[in-house]
Amino acid sequence: MTKAATAQQPVPAGEGRAPRHVAIIMDGNGRWAKKRLLPRAAGHRQGVEAARRVVRAAGDLGLEVLTLYAFSSENWRRPATEISDLMGLLRRFILNDIDELAEAGVRLRIIGDYQALEPDVVAMIDSAIARTAANTRTTLVIALNYGAQQELVRAARSLAADAAAGKLDPGAIDITDIDARLDTSDLPPLDLLIRTSGEKRLSNFLLWQAAYAELLFVDTLWPDFDRDALAEAIAHFGQRERRFGGL
């Protein structure tokens, strides 16, 4: 096998194969609130409850990794009041849930430039990461201030710096070199990417990692997503045939 070859192999349909790594674009909080004549903040609060349900279910359903798209690098364009609400929810999630996550064997990982957030949020995140670092049941990855294009730019700059320093032959750069510079380099390959709310786009999320992932777009608004919805998505994945470009 050459350096650039992939270790992923086709999985025949009908075997009920479970994904190792599932990622979710948690979309629909605002529409959930609007349908109920509630402020958007109420939708985000219910979205956090949905995240709690799904995180609890992930370990029970055998997922090694669950990645949630919590705050994109483009979300800074939203009104300041909404950003403040989202950061407040993040603080409360870490404060209120870290004990449960730790006791449940969940390891917390962050992808994205979370160091650009408010200092108290960064400190809370760093503490939570350290506290759960030895856990092995499930890894919860939260994408914060994350953008896939920005991630690829960081990887390209890292490779360019090494090439300029003579540490790397530019002509020898391949898929594995790029993969090793991504935020997800220590995680299993992405198997299944779910987007809720009926929208059918990736919104700058895990663009490289989704190259051969199965995509599933569901109409359920994120605050209504639950264990049963996740189990149904996993079952749907098990019926797909993955060829990775082969026959």
Q: What distance in Å separates the CA atoms of residue 131 and residue 154, rounded to the nearest whole number?
A: 27
Q: What distance in Å separates the CA atoms of residue 53 and residue 30, rounded to the nearest whole number?
A: 19
- Quote the pLDDT of residue 247: 60
pLDDT tens string for the chain (247 positions)?
Answer: 344 444 444 444 445 588 999 999 999 999 999 999 999 999 999 999 999 999 999 999 999 999 999 999 999 999 999 999 999 999 999 989 999 999 999 999 999 999 999 999 999 999 999 999 999 999 999 999 999 999 999 999 999 999 999 999 999 999 999 999 999 999 999 999 999 999 999 999 999 999 999 999 999 999 999 999 999 999 999 988 887 766 6
Who's near 189: CB < 8 A, 6+ residues apart? 8, 20, 21, 209, 212, 213
Q: Any idea which residue has 């710096």 for tokens? A: 161
Spatial contact of 91 and 124, defined as CB atoms under 8 Å apart: yes
Eight-class DSSP state of 64: S
- Each residue of 94-153: pLDDT tens digit? 989 999 999 999 999 999 999 999 999 999 999 999 999 999 999 999 999 999 999 999
Catalytic status, residue 75 = yes
User: Which pTM does this prediction carry?
Assistant: 0.91
Burial class, 72, CB count within 10 angstroms (exposed 0-12 / middle 13-18 / buried 19+): buried
Of 75, 204, 224, 226, catalytic: 75
